[in-house]
Amino acid sequence: GESVGLHLPTLSVQEGDNSIINCAYSNSASDYFIWYKQESGKGPQFIIDIRSNMDKRQGQRVTVLLNKTVKHLSLQIAATQPGDSAVYFCAENRSGGYQKVTFGIGTKLQVIP
Amino acid sequence: EPEVTQTPSHQVTQMGQEVILRCVPISNHLYFYWYRQILGQKVEFLVSFYNNEISEKSEIFDDQFSVERPDGSNFTLKIRSTKLEDSAMYFCASGEDGTEKLFFGSGTQLSVL
Chain A residues with beta carbon closer than 8 angstroms to that of B101: 34, 46, 49
Higher pLDDT, B37 or B39: B37
A4-6: strand order across its sheet: A4-6, A19-25, A72-77, A62-67, A56-58
Instruction: Tell me how far CA of residue B79 lies from CA of A43, A92, B5, B83, B94, in angstroms.
Output: 21, 27, 19, 9, 20
Instruction: Tell me how far CA of residue A54 lies from CA of A58, A98, B50, in angstroms.
Output: 11, 20, 28
pLDDT of residue A7: 46
Q: pLDDT class for B54, splitting at 50, 70, 90?
A: very high
Least confident range of B15-29, B34-48, B74-88: B34-48
The residue type found at B5 is: T
Q: Is A63 on the interface with B (CB under 8 A)?
A: no
pLDDT of residue A99: 67
Query: Cβ separation of B107 and A34 shorter than 8 Å?
Result: no
B82 Cα to chain A: minimum distance (Å) = 23
pLDDT of residue A3: 47
Report the distance separating Cα A26 and Cα A72, nearest Å.
9
When pLDDT is averaged across residues B79-107 and rounded to a whole number, the result is 90
Q: Is A101 on the interface with B (CB under 8 A)?
A: yes
CA B87-B91-B96 angle, 5° bins: 160
When pLDDT is averaged across residues B106-113 and rounded to a whole number, the result is 96
Chain A residues with beta carbon closer than 8 angstroms to that of B105: 43
Q: Write out pLDDT tens, residues A74-93.
A: 999 999 999 999 999 999 88
Q: Which residues of chain A have pLDDT under 50?
A: 1-3, 5-8
One-letter-per-residue 3-state SS of chain B: CCCCEEECCEEEECCCCCEEEEEECCCCCCEEEEEEECCCCCEEEEEEEECCEEEEECCCCCCCEEEECCCCCCEEEEECCCCHHHCEEEEEEEECCCCCCCEECCCEEEEEC
Other CB atoms within 10 A of residue B63 CB? 7
Chain A residues with beta carbon closer than 8 angstroms to that of B102: 34, 44, 46, 101
HSE-up (13 A, CA, CB side) for residue A105: 13
Query: Cβ separation of B105 and A43 shorter than 8 Å?
Result: yes
| Minimal-distance CA residue of chain A relative to B34 | A100
Report the distance separating Cα A71 and Cα A4, nearest Å.
10
